[in-house]
Amino acid sequence: MAAAVHKLLHPHRSRDQEKEEENERQKSATEHARDEEKHTLAQWGEKKAPLEPGQIDKHPDQKMVGHSSSVLRKDDFELIKTLGTGTFARVWLVRVKNATDGDENQVFALKILRKTDVIRLKQVEHVRNERNVLAAIAGHPFITTMVASFQDHDSLYMLLDYCPGGEVFSYLRRARRFNEPTSQFYAAEIVLILEFLHQREGVAYRDLKPENILIDAEGHLKLVDFGFAKKVENRETYTLCGTPEYLAPEVIRNTGHGTAVDWWAFGILVYEFLVGQPPFWDQNPMKIYEQIVEGRVRFPSAMSAEARDLISGLCTVDTSKRLGNISGGASTVKSHAWFKDIDWDALYHRKVQGPIVPHLRGPADTRNFDEYEPESIHREAYTKDMQEKYEDSFKDF
Amino acid sequence: MSLPPDYSNEISSLSREILTHQPQDVLQFCANFFLRRLESQRAEFLLSHHHSSPKGRGMAETTFPGGNPFGTSPSHTATYMQRLDEEDENDHVASPTAASFFPNSAMDRAQSHPANEDTFGNFAGFGGFGDAFNTRPRPSGAPEPQPFPNNYNLNRRTSVSAESLNPASSDHSDWTPPDHPKSPEQQARLREAVASNFLFSHLDDEQSAQVLGALQEKPIPTKGIKVIQQGDVGDYFYVVEKGSFDIYVNQSGKLEAGPDGQGSRVGSVGPGGSFGELALMYNAPRAATVVSAEASNLWALDRVTFRRILMDSAFQRRRMYEGFLEEVPLLASLTPYERSKIADALETKKFPPGTHIIKEGDVGESFYILESGVAEVYKRGNEKPVHRYGKGDYFGELALLNDAPRAASVVSTTEVKVATLGKNGFQRLLGPVEGIMRRNDPSKLQDADGVDPFTRSS
């Protein structure tokens, strides 16, 4: 039946047939490689051991995670539930299909991007950055691990570890705001992430906000969505991106920006943790931007002096005075009085208990994620023209 | 019979913990583990019910007013983005920075009030939120508290991004902004029209001239022409030179078909006014429909041109400063990254002719690079200048190293533009200069100490 439909849909039968035969020949070898790869994935999923910074730096081919897979396919995964949607991507909770014994319970998050949408929304460069950055940093304890990436004719796939705790955003909105110890714990894990991204990888993340921070099964953070992350190293970059309330003044003024934008956004984040909403807001986004470039942060009277001092240091318009960007980098943030109770080494090694450890019924529990609208049936075809023009950009995916 | 999944899950996370921590006292460790789990679950539970249990200990503080305003679904998009600003709006929209923590009594009071009147920016999905955060006089009558905005959007926020801009790529390197001719009167009118806009008020003279030059005339021949449509993608910002325009907002967020499709008229804009400025940031849907009320004349500027003007001038300025810095022997051991940080921190200053930029004998605090113009160096006892500085020359750099008095005076001959950075700024960015210079060659420090920068060429 499937073959008959196939025939109807594909009048150029002879060519297809040739292809199929060729496929048959390669199939057994590929099948074997796929099964092996699936088993490896599942094994990684079992342990999820974080790597030391020195191990993360290895080439993706030399560590267990972060490589581009030529054998994995969408069919290898059963799509269970949508975990999140973006303008050109959808993230699914997936289970490994036809897994070997003992591996069938391993779940992952699969981010699926349609090539046509990526092209239409001019995000080709961003998507490439995202994959490459995630590959380079796979293994960090507080960053989503890209286990593997792969692609097919019209889509790109990133297989990520699943964080069953859901978004910090949801907890924050439910709580309205976090108390100081909770804010300090989460903020401190973010500091470790930024320290690593900036000082070890030369990467600016560029979209810090509670929506992009997940809580894993053990109550630690995972930073997700590296769509705007970019290896900037020592050069400034100019493309405006981020989230309105979190944009740094230099991004708005287009004077060139670098990793310092993450320290600005980090200040906004700490403020939002403690207050329940970011410091600069207006219904009219232009008014938000006007407030941001003016940079006058006002604090609720109940906020502690240390917290005010930290936020003022981070949300400093002049990047040459901004905490985190000045001499000493992240260490100036780590040694700030607001973080005086943090044992940074224990924190990196996940030895500090987080304030929320999600209650879960097994590893595939999705109770901490919201319901999303089903995917629209309408899909633009990935045309030959597009393929000719862009396929090369996706070749390493 | 299999074990309940909850149990298996708890046991496997306990096993993981035991593997990580390798406790000596296993029993105590297990007991602690379960106590922690219990505490964390309880905290989570209390958190979701905290409005009914104000004394709950958890990760949230409970002194904050507000019930549970979170009945919204993630499919609600950030509709707050989609409206045009009106003059009187600020009366209602309190500054979000003015947050203040109310005591519980204030919270109860606020909740008992009927819904607030500011319906325009409120969203049905927020339930009681508007009430809870509506601001009422404090019972105590204390002079504070500044109001917490009653309409902060609590939904997930959408990321935004503009076209990729890359100054280093070859196709942009010889780009020059378009220059559309204007009469001096038009120039003046346009300059004034954009002067109050923060996106333009930060521009230097050259950027400002380029931006004004890039404004392109768009004559609107008659009444009833839709210049922008609510919900459409926005690429252009418009300044009204003459004529007038009506602004319509449809509550649905976009222009709809039919006679009332553009919604209700919320205002108008006349000569010297402008609209569509968000389009200069990124491609966001238009917040309103703007229709000509008579034959008019508009000037338009597109986002890519605007942002490229800003980028190119910033890029050139940075590279110029980096180039200048490379020539300063005292800073020879800076890495390119450090140089770029210093270049970013340099501050531009302008001086009229005849200004003493530095004075002999003063304590030096900043160093200077001459960006344009001419300055002369005077030393006490010499009537004539001992040296002349032009573009790219630098002076006063020893101030970064020590507090010795200035060895000479530098006086501007023409109007000059300098880039300057103080010792504090330098140390803040890179640490002590001595350390940086010692990095490559410890002997340099000695040499530099002996150098009088004002006698280089004499």
What are the counts of helices (DSSP H) followed by strands (DSSP E) for chain B? 13, 17
On whether any CB of chain B is under 8 Å from the CB of A81, the answer is no
Q: Is B343 found in the same domain as B384?
A: yes
Q: Does residue B445 fall inside a structural domain?
A: yes
Supply A11's token pair. 């009048």
Q: Is B352 found in the same domain as B300?
A: no
Q: Does residue B375 fall inside a structural domain?
A: yes
Domain of B432, CATH number, reads 2.60.120.10
Task: Please judge whether A236 and B162 are an interchain contact, meaning their C-beta atoms are less than 8 angstroms apart.
Answer: no
| Average pLDDT, integer, range B363-384 | 91
Q: Does residue B93 fall inside a structural domain?
A: no
On whether any CB of chain B is under 8 Å from the CB of A341, the answer is no
| Average pLDDT, integer, range B92-117 | 34
Q: Please report where in the chains the tokens 């019930």 appear, as a residue.
A: B67
Confidence of residue B173 (pLDDT cuts 50, 70, 90): low
Q: How many CB atoms lie within 10 A of CB B374?
A: 16
Question: Can you say how many angstroms the Cα of residue A89 is from the centroid of all Cα atoms in its chain?
Answer: 12
From chain B residues 180-209, the ones with a CB under 8 A of any chain A CB are 198-199, 202
From chain A residues 232-271, the ones with a CB under 8 A of any chain B CB are 233-236, 238-245, 252-256
Q: What is the rounded CA–CA span in Å between residue A197 and residue A229?
A: 10
Residues of A in contact with B337 (CB under 8 A): 233-234
User: Among B278, B308, B338, which residue terminates a domain?
Assistant: B308
Supply φ then ψ for residue B394, to 5 degrees. -135, 155
Q: Is B443 found in the same domain as B374?
A: yes
Q: Would the pLDDT of B446 be above 50?
A: no
| pLDDT, position B440 | 55
Alpha helices in chain A (DSSP H): 2-9, 13-47, 53-56, 115-120, 124-137, 168-175, 180-195, 249-253, 260-275, 285-294, 305-314, 330-334, 344-348, 384-390
| pLDDT, position A14 | 62
Task: Please judge whether A284 and B41 are an interchain contact, meaning their C-beta atoms are less than 8 angstroms apart.
Answer: no
Q: Is B351 found in the same domain as B428?
A: yes
On whether the CB atoms of residues B147 and B82 are closer than 8 A, the answer is: no
Supply B360's token pair. 């002999």
pLDDT in tens, A353-381: 999 998 888 778 888 888 888 887 777 88
Q: Is B346 found in the same domain as B296?
A: no
Q: Does residue B363 fall inside a structural domain?
A: yes
On whether any CB of chain B is under 8 Å from the CB of A348, the answer is no
Pairing state between β A146-151 and A67-68? parallel
Domain A168-348 homologous superfamily, CATH: Transferase(Phosphotransferase) domain 1 (1.10.510.10)
Q: Is B120 exposed, middle or buried (0-12, 13-18, 19+ CB in 10 A)?
A: middle
Comparing CA positions, the residue from A135, A128, A285 lying closest to residue B80 is: A285
Q: What is the rounded CA–CA span in Å between residue B100 and residue B144?
A: 8
Q: Is B249 found in the same domain as B206?
A: yes
Q: Please report where in the chains the tokens 């396919």 appear, as a residue.
A: A73
Handedness of CA B426, B427, B430, B432 (dihedral sign): positive
| pLDDT, position B149 | 53
Task: Please judge whether B75 and A182 are an interchain contact, meaning their C-beta atoms are less than 8 angstroms apart.
Answer: no
* Sequence-distant (≥ 6) Cβ neighbours of residue A220 within 8 angstroms: A141, A142, A189, A350, A354
Total domains, chain B = 3
Q: Does residue B107 fall inside a structural domain?
A: no
Annotated binding site of B: 277, 286, 397, 406
Supply φ then ψ for residue A339, to 5 degrees. -100, 20
On whether any CB of chain A is under 8 Å from the CB of B348, the answer is no
| pLDDT, position A60 | 65
| Average pLDDT, integer, range B272-283 | 93
Q: What is the rounded CA–CA span in Å between residue A163 and residue A145?
A: 10
Q: Is B264 found in the same domain as B334?
A: no
Residues of B in contact with A346 (CB under 8 A): none
In chain B, what's the furthest Cα-to-Cα distance?
Answer: 104
Residue of B nearest to A208 (CA): B159
Least confident of A172-176, B159-163, B439-443, B451-455: B451-455
Q: Is B293 found in the same domain as B398?
A: no
Supply φ then ψ for residue B364, to 5 degrees. -80, 135
Comparing CA positions, the residue from A148, A169, A147, A158 lying closest to residue A221 is: A169
Element (H, E) at A160: strand A155-161
User: Among B308, B343, B376, which residue terminates a domain?
Assistant: B308
Q: Is B420 found in the same domain as B340?
A: yes
* Sequence-distant (≥ 6) Cβ neighbours of residue A15 within 8 angstroms: none
CA distance B296 to chain A (A): 25
Q: Does residue B277 fall inside a structural domain?
A: yes
Residues of A in contact with B314 (CB under 8 A): 238, 254-256
* Sequence-distant (≥ 6) Cβ neighbours of residue A193 within 8 angstroms: A140, A142, A143, A205, A221, A223
Confidence of residue B352 (pLDDT cuts 50, 70, 90): very high
Task: Please judge whether B345 and A319 are an interchain contact, meaning their C-beta atoms are less than 8 angstroms apart.
Answer: yes
Top residue of A282, A348, A352 to mutate, by most chain B CBs within 10 Å, is: A282
Comparing CA positions, the residue from B276, B298, B301, B272 lying closest to residue B287 is: B276
pLDDT tens, chain A, 397 aa long: 455 555 555 555 566 666 676 666 666 777 777 787 877 777 776 666 677 777 777 776 666 777 888 888 888 899 999 998 877 789 999 988 876 766 777 889 999 999 998 888 888 888 998 999 999 888 899 999 999 999 998 899 999 999 999 999 999 999 999 999 999 999 999 999 999 999 999 999 999 999 999 999 899 999 999 989 999 987 899 999 999 999 999 999 999 999 999 999 999 999 999 999 999 999 899 999 999 999 999 999 889 999 999 999 999 999 999 999 998 999 999 999 999 999 999 999 999 999 999 888 877 888 888 888 888 777 788 888 888 888 888 888 8
Task: Please judge whether B311 and A122 are an interchain contact, meaning their C-beta atoms are less than 8 angstroms apart.
Answer: no
HEC profile for B53-96? CCCCCCCECCCCCCCCCCCCCCCCCCHHHCCCCCHHHHHCCCCH
Q: What is the rounded CA–CA span in Å between residue A129 and residue A27?
A: 32
Q: Would the pLDDT of B114 be above 50?
A: no
Q: Does residue B164 fall inside a structural domain?
A: no
| Average pLDDT, integer, range B321-344 | 88
Q: In what order do the strands lie in the sheet with A77-85?
A: A67-68, A146-151, A155-161, A107-114, A89-96, A77-85
Q: Is B264 found in the same domain as B345?
A: no
Hey, is A42 helix, strand or coil?
helix
Residues of A in contact with B121 (CB under 8 A): 283
DSSP code per residue over B313-357: HHHHHHHHHHHHHHT-GGGTT--HHHHHHHHHH-EEEEE-TT-EE
Handedness of CA A344, A347, A353, A354 (dihedral sign): positive
What is the CATH number that goes with domain A48-164+370-394?
3.30.200.20
Task: Please judge whether B344 and A179 are an interchain contact, meaning their C-beta atoms are less than 8 angstroms apart.
Answer: no
On whether any CB of chain A is under 8 Å from the CB of B344, the answer is yes
Supply B248's token pair. 């319509």
- ipTM of the shown complex: 0.83
The residue type at A265: A
Q: What percent of chain B has pLDDT over 70?
A: 70
| Average pLDDT, integer, range B294-312 | 94
Active site residues of A: 207
Comparing CA positions, the residue from A265, A273, A266 lying closest to residue A176 is: A273
pLDDT in tens, B28-82: 899 988 888 887 777 666 655 543 333 334 454 433 333 333 333 333 333 333 3
Residue B284's domain comprises: 179-308
Residue of A nearest to B34 (CA): A357
CA-CA-CA-CA dihedral for A58, A60, A61, A65, to nearest 10: 110
Q: Does residue B27 fall inside a structural domain?
A: yes
* Sequence-distant (≥ 6) Cβ neighbours of residue B220 within 8 angstroms: B227, B243, B292, B295, B296, B297, B298
Task: Please judge whether B157 and A355 are an interchain contact, meaning their C-beta atoms are less than 8 angstroms apart.
Answer: no
Domain residue spans in chain A?
48-164+370-394, 168-348
Q: Is B301 found in the same domain as B354?
A: no
Q: What is the DSSP letter of A235?
A: S
DSSP code per residue over A339-384: GTT--HHHHHTT-SPPS-----SSTT--TTS---PPPPS------H
